[in-house]
């Protein structure tokens, strides 16, 4: 029985109860009478179990409403953060895949992060299998408190790009993740010159660029942007659809999950 039905059933009795009670003790105040009626109703509701069911239902609705409001608030906050994403630029960004692809995945990555190492392989596969529908933009997010070598490695990748263009950047990144063990165990003094040599860069010019520090500002800008867009760890990615709608992606998600998000951005779901 619903609460409304219960009240319809017991209301005549309650009225009679109130009348008799008042007749027996006409000096009782209205407040006392109301309290006795209320107590009687609550006892009956508890006895029938209707009160417990109503409380449970009310709590459930309240929690559901709170959860929905929290999700909406988080979505608004996420949209506000990702709106700070700098537009992709061919002249500045490192782009892998079709520059005119309808979906772009902007990744903020740390060269010493083991999860970034795994995600790098995932992204290579995604771009290769996308038939020109996805491109991948690499930006820097060195976590200095965890990886003291990551910022220097990021600068080295920019030196590779300066000396050899976009292709050299991606060759550097691919080879670095292939060679190194992550988590600050990289011997940068040995590995960085080796990679530069393997990908065909002039070793002296590469060393000079690295020593100059002229790309440190670029790395710092990417890092600030990663934080501003909501990044709290690496890899931190934002998927951008052709109409500019953004979808955030935190961590080294598996291939299937990334592909599903890309399909959503393409409007395929």
Question: Tens of pLDDT along 157-216?
Answer: 999 999 999 999 999 999 999 999 999 999 999 999 999 999 999 999 999 999 999 999
Looking at the fold, whether 174 and 243 belong to one and the same domain comes out as: yes
Looking at the fold, whether 103 and 72 belong to one and the same domain comes out as: no
Condensed to tens digits (0 to 9), the pLDDT of residues 109-148 reads: 999 999 999 999 999 999 999 999 999 999 999 999 999 9
Looking at the fold, whether 126 and 175 belong to one and the same domain comes out as: yes
Looking at the fold, whether 139 and 13 belong to one and the same domain comes out as: no
Looking at the fold, whether 53 and 112 belong to one and the same domain comes out as: no
Q: Look at residue 89 and tell me if it is in a domain.
A: no
**Phi and psi (nearest 5°) for 250?**
-105, 130
Q: Look at residue 38 and tell me if it is in a domain.
A: yes
Looking at the fold, whether 142 and 208 belong to one and the same domain comes out as: yes
Q: Look at residue 112 and tell me if it is in a domain.
A: yes
Whether residue 193 contacts residue 207, with contact meaning beta carbons closer than 8 Å, is answered with yes
pLDDT number for residue 49: 77
Q: Which domain holds residue 30?
A: 3-82
For residue 155, what are its two tokens?
Answer: 């600068």
Looking at the fold, whether 78 and 116 belong to one and the same domain comes out as: no
Looking at the fold, whether 223 and 164 belong to one and the same domain comes out as: yes
Bridge partners (DSSP) of residue 211 are none
Looking at the fold, whether 179 and 217 belong to one and the same domain comes out as: yes
**Least confident range of 72-76, 95-99, 200-204, 223-227:** 72-76
Looking at the fold, whether 212 and 98 belong to one and the same domain comes out as: yes
Whole-angstrom distance, CA of residue 109 vs CA of residue 141:
5
């Amino acid at each position: 029985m619903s609460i409304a039905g219960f009240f319809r059933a017991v209301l005549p009795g309650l009225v009679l109860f109130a009348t008799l009670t008042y007749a027996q003790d006409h000096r009782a105040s209205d407040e006392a009478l109301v309290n006795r009626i209320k107590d009687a109703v609550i006892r009956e509701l508890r006895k029938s179990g209707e009160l417990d069911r109503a409380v449970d239902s009310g709590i459930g609705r309240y929690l559901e409403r709170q959860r929905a409001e929290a999700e909406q608030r988080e979505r608004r906050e996420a949209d506000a953060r990702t709106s700070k994403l700098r537009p992709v630029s061919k002249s500045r960004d490192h782009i892998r895949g079709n520059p005119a692809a309808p979906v772009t995945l902007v990744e903020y990555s740390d060269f010493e992060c083991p999860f970034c190492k795994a995600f790098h392989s995932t992204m290579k596969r995604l771009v290769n299998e996308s038939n020109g529908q996805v491109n991948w933009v690499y930006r820097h997010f060195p976590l200095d408190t965890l990886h003291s070598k990551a910022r220097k490695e990021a600068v080295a990748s920019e030196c590779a790009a300066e000396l050899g263009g976009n292709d050299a950047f991606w060759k550097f990144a691919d080879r670095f993740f292939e060679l190194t063990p992550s988590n600050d165990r990289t011997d940068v003094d040995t590995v960085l010159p080796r990679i530069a040599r393997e990908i065909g860069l002039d070793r002296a010019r590469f060393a000079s660029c690295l020593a100059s520090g002229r790309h440190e500002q670029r790395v710092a800008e990417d890092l600030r942007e990663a934080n501003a867009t909501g990044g709290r760890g690496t890899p931190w990615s934002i998927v951008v659809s052709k109409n500019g709608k953004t979808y955030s992606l935190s961590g080294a998600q598996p291939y299937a999950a990334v592909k599903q998000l890309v399909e959503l951005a393409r409007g395929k779901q």
